[in-house]
Protein backbone atom coordinates (compact mmCIF):
# COMPACT_ATOMS: atom_id res chain seq x y z
CA UNK A 1 0.00 0.00 0.00
CA UNK A 2 1.35 3.41 -0.95
CA UNK A 3 1.48 5.90 1.88
CA UNK A 4 0.87 9.62 1.36
CA UNK A 5 4.10 11.58 1.38
CA UNK A 6 4.37 13.80 4.45
CA UNK A 7 4.24 17.50 3.64
CA UNK A 8 5.64 20.20 5.91
CA UNK A 9 4.86 23.88 6.17
CA UNK A 10 7.95 26.04 5.82
CA UNK A 11 8.44 28.37 8.82
CA UNK A 12 10.02 31.14 6.75
CA UNK A 13 7.08 31.09 4.35
CA UNK A 14 4.60 31.16 7.23
CA UNK A 15 6.39 34.17 8.70
CA UNK A 16 6.16 35.96 5.35
CA UNK A 17 2.45 35.12 5.08
CA UNK A 18 1.71 36.39 8.61
CA UNK A 19 3.68 39.59 7.96
CA UNK A 20 1.76 40.25 4.73
CA UNK A 21 -1.53 39.68 6.55
CA UNK A 22 -0.47 42.04 9.36
CA UNK A 23 0.84 44.81 7.09
CA UNK A 24 -1.64 44.44 4.23
CA UNK A 25 1.13 44.73 1.68
CA UNK A 26 3.75 42.45 0.18
CA UNK A 27 6.05 45.45 -0.23
CA UNK A 28 5.80 46.42 3.43
CA UNK A 29 6.26 42.80 4.47
CA UNK A 30 9.42 42.56 2.37
CA UNK A 31 10.80 45.65 4.09
CA UNK A 32 10.06 44.29 7.56
CA UNK A 33 11.65 40.93 6.80
CA UNK A 34 14.63 42.35 4.85
CA UNK A 35 13.69 40.34 1.80
CA UNK A 36 12.93 41.21 -1.80
CA UNK A 37 9.32 41.39 -2.91
CA UNK A 38 9.97 38.76 -5.59
CA UNK A 39 11.33 36.34 -2.99
CA UNK A 40 8.23 36.71 -0.82
CA UNK A 41 6.00 36.40 -3.88
CA UNK A 42 7.66 33.10 -4.78
CA UNK A 43 7.19 31.85 -1.20
CA UNK A 44 3.47 32.57 -1.35
CA UNK A 45 3.11 30.90 -4.75
CA UNK A 46 4.83 27.75 -3.44
CA UNK A 47 2.63 27.80 -0.35
CA UNK A 48 -0.54 28.06 -2.40
CA UNK A 49 0.69 25.28 -4.70
CA UNK A 50 1.37 23.04 -1.70
CA UNK A 51 -2.01 23.71 -0.08
CA UNK A 52 -4.04 23.76 -3.28
CA UNK A 53 -5.83 27.05 -2.62
CA UNK A 54 -5.24 30.80 -2.59
CA UNK A 55 -4.29 32.32 0.77
CA UNK A 56 -4.31 36.03 -0.13
CA UNK A 57 -6.60 38.36 -2.07
CA UNK A 58 -5.81 41.87 -3.28
CA UNK A 59 -8.52 44.41 -2.40
CA UNK A 60 -8.92 48.17 -1.99
CA UNK A 61 -7.66 47.72 1.60
CA UNK A 62 -4.52 45.94 0.40
CA UNK A 63 -3.69 42.26 0.59
CA UNK A 64 -6.09 40.37 2.83
CA UNK A 65 -6.28 36.65 3.70
CA UNK A 66 -8.90 34.61 1.87
CA UNK A 67 -11.38 32.54 3.86
CA UNK A 68 -8.96 29.62 3.73
CA UNK A 69 -6.10 32.02 4.44
CA UNK A 70 -7.80 33.15 7.67
CA UNK A 71 -7.77 29.54 8.86
CA UNK A 72 -4.11 29.19 7.92
CA UNK A 73 -3.33 32.48 9.71
CA UNK A 74 -4.56 31.08 13.02
CA UNK A 75 -2.35 28.02 12.70
CA UNK A 76 0.61 30.05 11.44
CA UNK A 77 0.53 32.39 14.45
CA UNK A 78 0.49 29.42 16.82
CA UNK A 79 3.29 27.59 14.98
CA UNK A 80 5.52 30.66 14.88
CA UNK A 81 4.85 31.49 18.54
CA UNK A 82 5.92 27.99 19.59
CA UNK A 83 8.97 28.12 17.31
CA UNK A 84 10.07 31.51 18.65
CA UNK A 85 9.54 30.42 22.25
CA UNK A 86 11.54 27.22 21.73
CA UNK A 87 14.39 29.01 19.96
CA UNK A 88 14.54 31.67 22.62
CA UNK A 89 14.55 29.17 25.45
CA UNK A 90 17.01 26.73 23.94
CA UNK A 91 19.55 29.19 22.54
CA UNK A 92 19.66 31.86 25.25
CA UNK A 93 22.54 31.19 27.69
CA UNK A 94 21.23 33.53 30.38
CA UNK A 95 17.49 33.00 30.61
CA UNK A 96 17.11 34.96 33.80
CA UNK A 97 16.28 38.49 34.85
CA UNK A 98 13.27 40.72 35.47
CA UNK A 99 10.43 41.35 33.04
CA UNK A 100 7.84 44.10 33.51
CA UNK A 101 4.33 43.26 32.35
CA UNK A 102 1.19 45.39 32.51
CA UNK A 103 -2.47 44.96 31.56
CA UNK A 104 -5.82 46.66 32.18
CA UNK A 105 -7.53 45.21 35.24
CA UNK A 106 -10.63 44.21 33.28
CA UNK A 107 -8.75 41.76 31.03
CA UNK A 108 -6.48 40.21 33.65
CA UNK A 109 -8.80 37.30 34.41
CA UNK A 110 -8.96 34.49 33.56
CA UNK A 111 -6.02 34.26 31.15
CA UNK A 112 -3.14 36.41 32.46
CA UNK A 113 -2.59 34.46 35.72
CA UNK A 114 -2.42 31.18 33.80
CA UNK A 115 0.07 32.59 31.28
CA UNK A 116 2.28 34.04 34.05
CA UNK A 117 2.14 30.80 36.04
CA UNK A 118 3.17 28.69 33.05
CA UNK A 119 5.91 31.13 32.10
CA UNK A 120 7.39 31.19 35.59
CA UNK A 121 7.19 27.39 35.76
CA UNK A 122 9.20 27.06 32.56
CA UNK A 123 11.63 29.89 33.38
CA UNK A 124 12.06 29.82 37.17
CA UNK A 125 15.02 32.24 37.10
CA UNK A 126 12.90 35.01 35.54
CA UNK A 127 11.00 37.37 37.84
CA UNK A 128 7.78 38.81 36.45
CA UNK A 129 6.73 42.20 37.82
CA UNK A 130 3.06 42.69 37.02
CA UNK A 131 1.03 45.91 37.23
CA UNK A 132 -2.55 46.72 36.29
CA UNK A 133 -3.48 50.08 34.81
CA UNK A 134 -5.55 51.71 32.08
CA UNK A 135 -4.63 51.35 28.41
CA UNK A 136 -3.53 54.96 27.85
CA UNK A 137 -1.08 54.88 30.77
CA UNK A 138 0.29 51.47 29.79
CA UNK A 139 0.96 52.74 26.26
CA UNK A 140 2.86 55.72 27.69
CA UNK A 141 4.91 53.48 29.99
CA UNK A 142 5.73 51.09 27.16
CA UNK A 143 6.83 53.92 24.86
CA UNK A 144 9.05 55.28 27.65
CA UNK A 145 10.65 51.88 28.26
CA UNK A 146 9.00 51.39 31.66
CA UNK A 147 7.19 48.21 30.57
CA UNK A 148 8.56 45.28 28.58
CA UNK A 149 5.23 43.69 27.62
CA UNK A 150 1.73 45.14 27.84
CA UNK A 151 -1.79 44.19 26.93
CA UNK A 152 -4.27 46.90 25.99
CA UNK A 153 -7.93 47.15 25.04
CA UNK A 154 -8.27 49.17 21.83
CA UNK A 155 -10.66 49.59 18.94
CA UNK A 156 -7.68 49.71 16.56
CA UNK A 157 -4.12 48.67 17.49
CA UNK A 158 -1.38 51.26 17.52
CA UNK A 159 2.01 50.95 15.78
CA UNK A 160 3.72 47.73 16.78
CA UNK A 161 0.59 46.30 18.40
CA UNK A 162 -0.59 42.78 17.64
CA UNK A 163 -4.25 41.83 18.03
CA UNK A 164 -4.44 38.55 19.96
CA UNK A 165 -8.21 38.49 20.59
CA UNK A 166 -11.25 40.43 19.40
CA UNK A 167 -14.42 40.42 21.45
CA UNK A 168 -17.83 42.07 21.21
CA UNK A 169 -18.38 45.03 23.53
CA UNK A 170 -21.59 44.39 25.47
CA UNK A 171 -23.81 46.30 27.88
CA UNK A 172 -23.67 44.72 31.32
CA UNK A 173 -25.37 45.31 34.63
CA UNK A 174 -26.47 43.63 37.82
CA UNK A 175 -28.08 40.22 37.55
CA UNK A 176 -31.83 40.80 37.03
CA UNK A 177 -31.15 44.54 37.33
CA UNK A 178 -33.39 47.38 36.14
CA UNK A 179 -30.90 50.25 35.93
CA UNK A 180 -30.72 49.91 32.14
CA UNK A 181 -34.43 50.84 31.87
CA UNK A 182 -34.02 54.22 33.57
CA UNK A 183 -33.77 57.57 31.79
CA UNK A 184 -31.47 59.37 31.95
CA UNK A 185 -29.55 56.13 31.70
CA UNK A 186 -27.14 55.73 34.65
CA UNK A 187 -23.73 54.61 33.43
CA UNK A 188 -20.69 53.84 35.54
CA UNK A 189 -17.24 53.93 33.97
CA UNK A 190 -13.97 55.05 35.46
CA UNK A 191 -12.93 58.37 33.93
CA UNK A 192 -10.14 57.00 31.73
CA UNK A 193 -11.89 53.80 30.62
CA UNK A 194 -11.22 53.11 26.92
CA UNK A 195 -14.84 51.96 26.49
CA UNK A 196 -16.44 55.11 27.91
CA UNK A 197 -16.16 57.43 24.86
CA UNK A 198 -17.39 54.67 22.54
CA UNK A 199 -20.37 53.88 24.76
CA UNK A 200 -21.39 57.52 25.33
CA UNK A 201 -21.06 58.29 21.60
CA UNK A 202 -23.36 55.36 20.81
CA UNK A 203 -25.89 56.61 23.34
CA UNK A 204 -25.73 60.14 21.92
CA UNK A 205 -26.22 58.84 18.38
CA UNK A 206 -29.25 56.85 19.57
CA UNK A 207 -30.73 59.92 21.30
CA UNK A 208 -30.57 58.31 24.75
CA UNK A 209 -29.83 60.72 27.58
CA UNK A 210 -27.33 59.45 30.14
CA UNK A 211 -25.76 60.34 33.45
CA UNK A 212 -22.36 59.10 34.63
CA UNK A 213 -22.98 58.10 38.23
CA UNK A 214 -19.46 56.83 38.91
CA UNK A 215 -17.08 59.77 38.22
CA UNK A 216 -14.14 57.85 39.64
CA UNK A 217 -10.58 56.93 38.70
CA UNK A 218 -11.03 53.53 40.35
CA UNK A 219 -12.30 50.75 38.09
CA UNK A 220 -13.24 48.63 41.12
CA UNK A 221 -15.63 51.35 42.30
CA UNK A 222 -17.46 51.43 38.96
CA UNK A 223 -17.56 47.62 38.99
CA UNK A 224 -19.21 47.68 42.40
CA UNK A 225 -21.81 50.26 41.33
CA UNK A 226 -22.79 48.20 38.29
CA UNK A 227 -23.05 45.05 40.40
CA UNK A 228 -25.27 46.96 42.85
CA UNK A 229 -27.66 47.92 39.99
CA UNK A 230 -26.82 51.61 40.35
CA UNK A 231 -25.76 51.87 36.72
CA UNK A 232 -24.62 49.91 33.69
CA UNK A 233 -21.36 49.70 31.80
CA UNK A 234 -19.80 48.14 28.71
CA UNK A 235 -17.45 45.18 28.89
CA UNK A 236 -15.77 42.76 26.54
CA UNK A 237 -17.53 39.43 26.23
CA UNK A 238 -14.58 37.41 27.53
CA UNK A 239 -14.11 39.30 30.80
CA UNK A 240 -17.57 39.72 32.36
CA UNK A 241 -17.23 39.06 36.09
CA UNK A 242 -19.56 37.47 38.60
CA UNK A 243 -22.33 39.69 39.92
CA UNK A 244 -23.00 41.15 36.47
CA UNK A 245 -24.51 39.79 33.32
CA UNK A 246 -25.13 40.79 29.73
CA UNK A 247 -28.22 42.99 29.48
CA UNK A 248 -30.89 41.53 27.22
CA UNK A 249 -32.24 44.91 26.16
CA UNK A 250 -34.09 43.83 23.01
CA UNK A 251 -32.74 46.74 20.98
CA UNK A 252 -33.53 49.42 23.57
CA UNK A 253 -29.80 50.15 23.92
CA UNK A 254 -27.47 50.81 20.97
CA UNK A 255 -25.15 48.14 19.65
CA UNK A 256 -21.47 48.63 20.44
CA UNK A 257 -18.41 47.87 18.29
CA UNK A 258 -15.96 45.07 18.91
CA UNK A 259 -12.75 45.78 20.81
CA UNK A 260 -9.44 44.00 20.63
CA UNK A 261 -6.93 42.84 23.20
CA UNK A 262 -3.65 44.09 21.77
CA UNK A 263 -0.17 42.88 22.68
CA UNK A 264 2.90 45.11 22.66
CA UNK A 265 6.28 43.51 23.35
CA UNK A 266 9.80 44.91 23.33
CA UNK A 267 11.44 43.67 20.13
CA UNK A 268 14.86 45.23 20.55
CA UNK A 269 17.94 42.93 20.38
CA UNK A 270 18.38 41.08 23.66
CA UNK A 271 14.68 41.31 24.56
CA UNK A 272 14.14 37.54 24.47
CA UNK A 273 12.43 37.58 27.89
CA UNK A 274 9.66 39.84 26.65
CA UNK A 275 9.27 37.98 23.38
CA UNK A 276 8.96 34.64 25.17
CA UNK A 277 6.29 35.97 27.57
CA UNK A 278 4.48 37.41 24.55
CA UNK A 279 4.22 33.90 23.13
CA UNK A 280 2.60 32.58 26.32
CA UNK A 281 0.11 35.47 26.38
CA UNK A 282 -0.74 35.05 22.69
CA UNK A 283 -1.66 31.41 23.20
CA UNK A 284 -3.55 32.08 26.44
CA UNK A 285 -5.76 34.81 24.99
CA UNK A 286 -5.96 33.50 21.44
Angstrom distance (rounded) from CA 138 to CA 140 = 5
Containing 65, the helix (H) or strand (E) segment is: strand 62-65
- Residue 190 DSSP one-character state: B
> What pLDDT was estimated at residue 121?
79
The string of pLDDT tens digits covering residues 36-54 is 999 999 999 999 999 999 9
> What pLDDT was estimated at residue 2?
46
CA angle 111, 227, 245 (to 5 degrees): 60
Angstrom distance (rounded) from CA 33 to CA 40 = 9
> What pLDDT was estimated at residue 179?
96
Give Dmax (Cα) for the chain: 74
Cβ-based neighbours of 147, under 8 Å, separated by 6 or more = 100, 101, 102, 131, 138, 141
Angstrom distance (rounded) from CA 128 to CA 106 = 19
Angstrom distance (rounded) from CA 271 to CA 149 = 10
Low-confidence spans in the chain with pLDDT less than 50? 1-2
Single pTM value for the model: 0.64
Angstrom distance (rounded) from CA 178 to CA 104 = 28
The string of pLDDT tens digits covering residues 199-244 is 999 999 999 999 999 877 777 888 889 999 999 999 887 666 667 8
Structural domains of the chain ordered from first start: 11-87 (1.10.10.10), 93-149+268-285 (3.40.190.10), 167-259 (3.40.190.10)
Q: Is 34 helix (H, G, I), strand (E, B) or coil?
A: coil
> What pLDDT was estimated at residue 88?
66
> What pLDDT was estimated at residue 234?
93
Amino acid sequence: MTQNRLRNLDLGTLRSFVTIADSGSMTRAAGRLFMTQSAISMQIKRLESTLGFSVLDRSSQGMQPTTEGEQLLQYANQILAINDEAMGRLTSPDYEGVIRFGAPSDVVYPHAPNAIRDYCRDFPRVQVKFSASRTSLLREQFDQGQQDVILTTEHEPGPGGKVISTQPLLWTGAADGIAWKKRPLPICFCKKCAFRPVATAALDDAGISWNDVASTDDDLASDAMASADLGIRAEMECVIHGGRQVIEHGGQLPELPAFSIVLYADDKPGSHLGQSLAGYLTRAYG
